[in-house]
Structure 1
């Protein structure tokens, strides 16, 4: 059988949402391996720096909305492979459904009609129609509608993703920098943080024909409770703060206020999803299935927490 996607000959890969945190790492990997990358973004002007990614490939930019069929057709035209990374987490349930479910379905339909051979959809650990949070339910619904269009679409479900530009460890390090206490929400819930570069590598490998149709849950080598992760934030950033457990009822009350502020720093839906562990399950494949040996957060996070948290502060203000 002829390979539909290989590393030895250049292919055109369409990346919807390629300007995001994970998308930027993924695009750089594609360029490094010599592929032509067509990046679809609602704000392509802001990500022109990706055009300077090192490698023998090149990057094209298009303004694309996941809910616009004509724009999606231009993105997928002539593409051999496609990846949809678009997702939102918002307290507005209608927007959640429009982007995460309707958008995921439309993107898969237009990619299939354009003749795309390899397709991967970014999901999340906890994606399920029975999730306690609307976000998790939307991701579960998205998986279902994508698979109806592309039965052999790859699905990647990462846990919390870390890296120099993440909005998880950086955010809590920023709170620790300006507050005498560090709040701990759902202190006993477990997480399995995964390095953004490992997630990007998993996307690359899921595009290979031998991995078509896999459902891969991506987690790193460390499994920690939320309290243990907050203690790690303090250790990695070199700060001493009091860890303050927040009861669920108080967390919901705080979220009802914070979700109305720009950036939605905490929503009631996030609080609901914190009630269940966010770790790799025994059923689906994992990173080791793709021959990826994930990097520990302990090897990466301390390097950027001590220098970069106020960059996030400037981003939040803008």
Structure 2
């Protein structure tokens, strides 16, 4: 990272606090000297001393920032483990699927939750025809209610992929089941909804996907390029799809050997630093630059980058799900 990038990063991390202190200091010094009885020469000397002192304070602050720019690996791991102990490790260990690594695909997911029970979820499994089904979603809100809503979708997906062949039909069926459930249990909050992306992949790399969810990234191994793929379809909701009734929203493409799909929830790029700036485009720069040979290391490295950006705190659940074609 060059000096210009370091200064920009420094400005983003400190936000408005230090500039406000600088401005207040200058206002106080100017006000004091204006009403003081010092001679002009003495005022000039005091102005120069004050400016020099202010410069030294800012310089020292910048140097201290540079020495902590990259957190020691042990500190990063400590911050990550602190997040895991808040509940992520339990959901990951007991509920979410184990990684797949067979002759056709490598599939790996990782999540960190804001609360012990989060609204993010992912699932992947195979059907009787040996197709691969991969889903990732994000229920609105935090805590146990969002988690229960997510687990309902998780459970319905696991059952329906064994009987229905099209991703958009499964999403339609989940929504119909949700309507039926709400008729039987009126206490269910009707404003609950989830973004959801459902992907079906056969052994040859033919991909079909449906659902409204943040766009995902397709890494093309032959050209070493990343492509952003838009999603289309419906939410998991009884109220959010009013203008989407006639939309099936299913798209398809083909993966070749070495290609990777990167899916994520909005919590990844919406994490803010102390300067109130999002991780945002840093996510896509990370995916462009990171070595693509190990999916687990990609997830670990990405979460470490985000924790450095935020200073070890997060404001939302965040999940990454990766699919590599063998």
Instruction: Quickly name the TM-score band, shorter chain normalised.
Output: under 0.3
TM-score normalised over the length of structure 1: 0.25
Q: Provide the TM-score with structure 2 as the length reference.
A: 0.25
Structure with bigger RCO (C-alpha 8 Å, 6+ apart): 2
